[in-house]
Amino acid sequence: MPTDNSIVSSSGFSNLRLLSLADCQLTGQLPVWLSKLKNLEVLFLEANRITGSIPGWLWTLPRLFFLELDDNLLSGEFPKELCALPALVSPQPLDNTSLDFPIYVTEVVDELQFPFQLRRVISVANNSLNGSIPIEIGHLKQLQLTGEIPASLANLHFLNMFSIASNKLHGPIPSGTQLQSFDAINYEGNPGLCGPPLPNQCPYIIGNKGDNDIHDEKMDMQSHGFI
C-alpha cells in the first residue's frame, strides 16, 4: 500500500469522501496517510491481506461513519481510540449520510444510483483480533448491532446485567437460558426479535419442535427458494 503523504495533497484527494479498495490484494499495515483524508466518510478495505493492528488514529477522521475491514489478517485488540469516532459518538444526526454521486462497482452492478445510502458501521469480521471489547465502545451512540443473538450466549449462567435494547437485532432470543430472566425492557427497540421475555412469539415456532430445529428448517427452506 502507498505510504507517501504527497498522494493526499494531490488534486482532489483532500476532498475524498469515499475510498473503496476492497478485494485488491493489498498487504501490509494500514498506511498513516489515510489519516490525512479529513473529509473521508466511507472506507471499504475488506477482502485483502492487511496485517497488524487496527490503528487508533482512525478516530481522527471526523466524518468517518462507515468502516469495513472484514476478511483481512488484522490482529491485536479492538482499539479503544476507535470508540471516539466523532461521527459515531455524537447523538446529533450526520449532516450528510447520503453520498450524492454515482458509484461504479465492477462485477456487481454497472452503477449504483445516487443518492447512495449507508448505515453507520464498523465491521471487523473474519480477522484474528483478540482481547477484550473495550468498555468505551458504549460511547458510540450512533452504532447499532445487527444480526441474531449468538446461540453461544446460552452457555452463560452468571450474568448480573444484560441489555441489547435499541439495536437492529432479529430472530429468536435463545430459549431455556438465563436470557429469559431479564426484563423485556432490556430487549426493546429491536422489532425483529421474538420469544420470551418479549410478548411477541416467533412465527416459526410450531408444535413441539425446538427453537434451533425450527430455525434450521426455516433457513433450509429459504435456501431452496420455498420462502
- DSSP H stretches of helix in the chain: 6-9, 86-89, 211-223
Maximum CA extent, the chain: 66
Dist CA 194 CA 202 (whole Å): 5
* pLDDT tens digit sequence for 213-227: 445 544 443 443 333
Which residue type, as a one-letter code, is found at position 180?
Q
Dist CA 87 CA 65 (whole Å): 6
Cβ contacts of 73 within 8 Å, gap of 6 or more: 49, 50, 51, 127, 128
Residue that is written with C-alpha cell 429459504 in the block: 222
pLDDT band at 4 (very low <50, low <70, confident <90, very high): low
Dist CA 122 CA 127 (whole Å): 13
* pLDDT tens digit sequence for 64-90: 999 999 999 999 999 999 989 998 887
What is the number of residues in the chain?
Answer: 227
Q: Is 42 exposed, middle or buried (0-12, 13-18, 19+ CB in 10 A)?
A: buried
Q: Is 123 helix (H, G, I), strand (E, B) or coil?
A: strand
pTM over 0.85: no
Going along the chain from its start, the domains and CATH numbers come out as: 1-143 (3.80.10.10), 144-227 (3.80.10.10)
Higher pLDDT residue, 94 or 65?
65
Which residue type, as a one-letter code, is found at position 174?
P
Which set of grid coordinates corresponds to residue 50? 492487511
Which residue type, as a one-letter code, is found at position 173?
I
Which set of grid coordinates corresponds to residue 196? 420470551
Q: Mean pLDDT, the chain, as a whole number?
A: 77
